[in-house]
Structure 1
Amino acid sequence: MTVDVSKDEKKPTWCYEDVVEHLGGFGRYQQRVFFLMCLPVMSLGIQTLMTVFSMKTPQHRCAVPGVQNDSYDLKGIEHERLLNISIPWVSANDVDNKVMRSQCLLYRNRNQTVYEEGLLYSNRSTTSCSKWVFDHSTFTNTFTEEAAFVCDKREYHAFADMLFMVGKLIGSFLVGIFSDFFGRKTGFVFSMVLHIGCAVGGAFVQSFTVYVALRFIMGGANFGVFLSVYVLGLELVGRKSRTVAGQFLQISWCFGLLFLAGLAYGLRDWRHLQLAVSCPTVLFLGYYWFIEESPRWLISKGRYDEANAILRKVAHMNGQPAPPTLEPSDSDVSVKKESALRMFTNKTTLVRTLIIFINWIVCTMIYYGLSLNVGNIGGNVYLNFTLSTVAEFIGYVIAMAGLDRLGRKAMHCGSMIVGGLALIASMFPVMYGGDSVTWSVILLSNIGKMGASSAFSIIYLFSAELFPTVARNSLVGMSSMVARVGGVISPYIAQLNVIVGGHLGVALPLVVFGGLALFAGLLALWLPETLHRPLPETMEDARNFGKLRSDSVSKKISSSENGASHNEKIA
């Protein structure tokens, strides 16, 4: 508690954090609000990675011209004869001698006599086909199949995912301004309306232009929902519980992905799946009547009466005495803000800031890239997606268990380096083992995903504790914004599998992600540890942070409390 007793024995003044602790760190009210905030996060995860199923490209080949009922499955000897005179055989990969019917080419001369006379297929000219048939054993229908995004249009999948990430980038600008002006609760409802509209509307689109436009808006809306959820869900949680509560928000994301995997397995038509995961989100509009506005935001706008009423309600529900009434004079100790650009004027802080930016970019790129790549590494896409989500869950649990024991630096660097080495190692079974060792590729890929998820959750806290208080919010905001660059690039790296093809195409995205993870993890070794260290307050503190080991036991601050108190500002 901040106590300011004058000679006239004025009443003690309470800062906002003192009131939060007085209300009970994680009482009944906070538990209810936190649970309500976890549910929308599940929907955010579902809609973010929905394209793994809705835009998956099934196995396919050129359709036989003139055959109305052509299908991917072989129907008999006559069907096989038509295929042989119409579609050339091509190499299925670059390791063994397996062949497959071409997905993009037809013979120009499809005269039956030519085939029967035994002329070599290699001497016959080919042309591109304009119609395809698809394998329906895994998916009955996908958007990629409907729009025929194959052959020279196969990169459209990556373009749709890229626009989603661009939407998140632009949303980080606009939604923050909207929420600062109209309030966190209003920002949540507005973003959720957009989220619901794009999700439900996406099930009925007929054109690619409309589809990607909705994905773009969805990206911005998702950022707005997550920002509001983070603030409203964690603002009234006590310091000691915030780090764990923040991790549980990310774990609820995993629960959403597991739900998506199970539902996608049962609903193989992408439109049915899109509707099934989108319609229930309409219920989130009811939050308007169940959640309160952010007291901190109300105080920032001078609306103390409304803020005090909410705080009294929290105290009553938690069985705590009513907190003291906050007044304009009872504000937190003000800290003189400085320009974040001053971090770039000193060699030490410049290098550290650039390393942090690189790690944000790489963490974001690898997390989303590996998530989007689960259908390209062989095996069953539903099982791969589930295993990837379980690996992500384990990564979050490992991060929670090790942060306050091993430290931020050791956990982050270890996660990045181990994950990177596993992804690089996946190259060997892919290139030299063939299809018989697909399980090892999936295992190594999931170790990489586990490391990326763990590092992704740690970098939020680690960077917040390295930046000085006078510019912390601005610098964390810049880091989050820079990270979107990684998100924008990740779909194209994941799509290398489709573009390059063969076993090299399977290995290439994993090796690229692994190399970047290893590079960023090794760079992060130059960052100082923040566990049990007083956080830097000024630019001078930031420059000297980590240089002197004597920041002394007398000034020691529990990083788990200080770092957690900034977690709410990061989203």
Structure 2
Amino acid sequence: MKFENILEEIDGFGPFQIVIIILLCAPRIVLPCHFLLNNFIAALPPHRCDISTLGGDGGLFRNLTPEQRLTVSLPVKADGVPKSCEMFAEPQFQLLANSSGSADLQTVQCQSGWVYDNSTFTSTLATEWDLVCDRKSLLKTTSTIFFFGVMMGAIAFGFLCDKYGRKNTLLASYIMAMVFGFSSAFANSYVLFAVLRFLTGFGLTGISINSVVLSIEWVDTGHRSFIGVIGSLAWSAGNMLLAGFAFLVNDWRTLIMAVTAPLGFAVLTWWWIPESARWLLAHGRVDRAQYYLDKCAKFNKRQKVSSKFKLETLSNIQILEKQDKNYTYLDLIKTPKMRRLTLLTGIVWYGVASTYYGISLNISGFGLNMYLTHFIYAAIEVPAKLMVYWFLNVIGRRKCQAGTLLLTGTCIVINIFLPQGLWHVRAVVAILGKGLSEASFTTIFLYTTELYPTVVRQNGLGYTSFMSRLGVSVAPLILLLEDVWTPLPQIIICSLAFLSGLVALLLPETLSVRLPETVDDIEKPRGNEVSSPSVELSGVFLESKSKTDSSQ
């Protein structure tokens, strides 16, 4: 007897499950709002040296217009715009008559701060703490620090949700993300803000893990793929809403509070979210499991679970299986083919995550409004997610994974060589690349669950998730290299896309192949035996896919 048999009795996809999905939508929408928030709160507006204190006492500027004061105080770039980080060591009044020799004049770093263009943003991290010029790298560093928090949270909450239950850990995640999220909006120093963003990322990871696990563990096998799509679309919806929030709210502190506020609603609705009956049975809490199963049956207008003996038997079996199969991360590297699989999937995950976030965090340079660019980047994910499911079953997992990555890299290469003046063509190519990178992300979740054997599947997903977060953390730092050479970040990102795409071709195909259960199934030659029940593919392994899909 399996838990799926019990779900069949009480309806594994009825009003009870729909309510759970709705209750978990708000926190899922919050995730992309925070994950890509740096695009707006760390925006760098146009700026120049503050010259208001120059010539004040001696009246040197008394008879000069504001434009003339800029001319004698600031060097200009080729386009005539004042340089952002330099000023003349002494006022150069001769430039009022002739500006041809300004290139040879001595300059110094800004002495009295900066003046910012507030036409787009009233306040950002850059304007708050003068994170410009030689401190500009700290803007991208905040994103890296946040994703390090996400990476640490994935390790911690993966353990906590199995030990203390999905529901209790979900509440802890809500409270942690909400408290630290709101607190970061009131930070009075950059260091404090960075620490609070790290803790916010840590808490948000618990939401991404637990919300999807709870949804999956309450639905039957046939609808798990549907739940995976819905969870993934909630990410895209939140991503599009972020563009709207940022457009309406131009102050970084207010924007953080705006995107964190839905967690207050999530805390209120937490009381109606049931604990996972699967988890309760696996830990011997039969009475509590029966309470929730009977509640589900009543809500779905089905008869209650016919026999408590069934639940007790299933609970005992699950406890014994858990004791007998004590696999760890070390099992991923103990045998030759498992080591090879672990190495290859780690490279692919790192490349997929670096490519996706390298594109998502770079929303300037295409001649479009940054809000519009972000919205289009998010909107293109919807058809990409829906189309990839069709391609997966037509051309197979390996070709789909490799193809999406190689095509993403190709789009980036095209934009490297396209002139800046062809902004409309560059924008179309960039948006296409963003959709392809999302398709590769959707593919890798399913592909990985089909590659790893059942006994170490969760360990495999934990390892690949770590590699993914590592790639995400490094992506903002790669973008900093544009100061060294403008095309360098794009060259690195496209190289990662090509490398991971070629590595994906070394992985075995899993379409219509019976999936491995043990490490021995990996070590011996894999047959081409077709998996007879289609439910095995769409259920068991889409379950694992769906568990991880929202933590993108």
TM-score by length of 1: 0.88
SS at match of 1:106: strand
Residues 1:118 and 1:99: Cα distance change in structure 2 (over 3 Å): closer
Deviation at 1:569, TM superposition (A): 4.7
SS at match of 2:426: helix
1:509 and 2:489 correspond: yes
- Matching residue of 1:409: 398
- Matching residue of 2:471: 486
Deviation at 1:176, TM superposition (A): 2.4
Deviation at 1:472, TM superposition (A): 1.2
Pairing of 1:128-147 with structure 2 (within 5 A): 128-130=109-111, 131-147=113-129
Counterpart residue identity of residue 61, structure 1: R
1:353 and 2:345 correspond: no
- Matching residue of 1:387: 376
Structure 1 residue runs without a partner (length 5+) = 1-13, 70-75, 92-97
Deviation at 1:556, TM superposition (A): 7.2
SS at match of 2:393: helix
Deviation at 1:24, TM superposition (A): 2.2
1:120 and 2:120 correspond: no
SS at match of 2:81: strand
Pairing of 1:222-371 with structure 2 (within 5 A): 222-324=204-306, 325=308, 326-331=310-315, 334=321, 336-371=325-360
- Matching residue of 2:521: 541
Deviation at 1:116, TM superposition (A): 4.3
Counterpart residue identity of residue 435, structure 2: M
Between the aligned partners of 1:191 and 1:64, the Cα distance in structure 2 is 48
Deviation at 1:524, TM superposition (A): 0.6
Select the residue among 8, 11, 14 that pairs with 1:21: 8
Between the aligned partners of 1:278 and 1:114, the Cα distance in structure 2 is 51
- Matching residue of 1:11: none
SS at match of 2:302: coil
Between the aligned partners of 1:245 and 1:186, the Cα distance in structure 2 is 22
State which drifts further: 152-161 or 394-403.
Answer: 394-403
Deviation at 1:167, TM superposition (A): 0.4
Which deviations, in whole Å up to 9, do the C-alpha atoms of 1:308-348 show, x marking residues without a partner?
11011111211222224343322457374545434434443
TM-score by length of 2: 0.91
1:526 and 2:506 correspond: yes
Deviation at 1:206, TM superposition (A): 2.0
- Matching residue of 1:563: 541
Deviation at 1:198, TM superposition (A): 2.0
- Matching residue of 1:396: 385
Between the aligned partners of 2:64 and 2:424, the Cα distance in structure 1 is 35
Deviation at 1:15, TM superposition (A): 1.8
Between the aligned partners of 2:380 and 2:539, the Cα distance in structure 1 is 27
Pairing of 1:428-443 with structure 2 (within 5 A): 428-429=417-418, 433-434=419-420, 436-443=421-428
Pairing of 1:80-119 with structure 2 (within 5 A): 80-91=67-78, 98-113=79-94, 116=97
Between the aligned partners of 2:497 and 2:95, the Cα distance in structure 1 is 54
Alignment RMSD, CA only? Answer: 2.4
Between the aligned partners of 1:307 and 1:553, the Cα distance in structure 2 is 32
Between the aligned partners of 1:378 and 1:417, the Cα distance in structure 2 is 25
Pairing of 1:25-44 with structure 2 (within 5 A): 25-44=12-31
Select the residue among 421, 441, 459 that pairs with 1:474: 459
Q: 1:424·1:515 contact (CA, 8 Å) conserved in 2? A: no
Structure 2 residue runs without a partner (length 5+) = 57-62
Counterpart residue identity of residue 360, structure 1: W
Select the residue among 46, 49, 58 that pairs with 1:62: 49
Residues 1:78 and 1:563: Cα distance change in structure 2 (over 3 Å): same
Deviation at 1:199, TM superposition (A): 2.1
Counterpart residue identity of residue 168, structure 2: T
1:450 and 2:435 correspond: yes
Which deviations, in whole Å up to 9, do the C-alpha atoms of 1:201-241 show, x marking residues without a partner?
22222211111111100111111111110111111111121
SS at match of 2:514: coil
1:426 and 2:415 correspond: yes
Residues 1:539 and 1:316: Cα distance change in structure 2 (over 3 Å): same
Counterpart residue identity of residue 567, structure 1: K
Q: 1:165·1:216 contact (CA, 8 Å) conserved in 2? A: yes
Between the aligned partners of 1:156 and 1:554, the Cα distance in structure 2 is 54
Between the aligned partners of 1:68 and 1:401, the Cα distance in structure 2 is 69
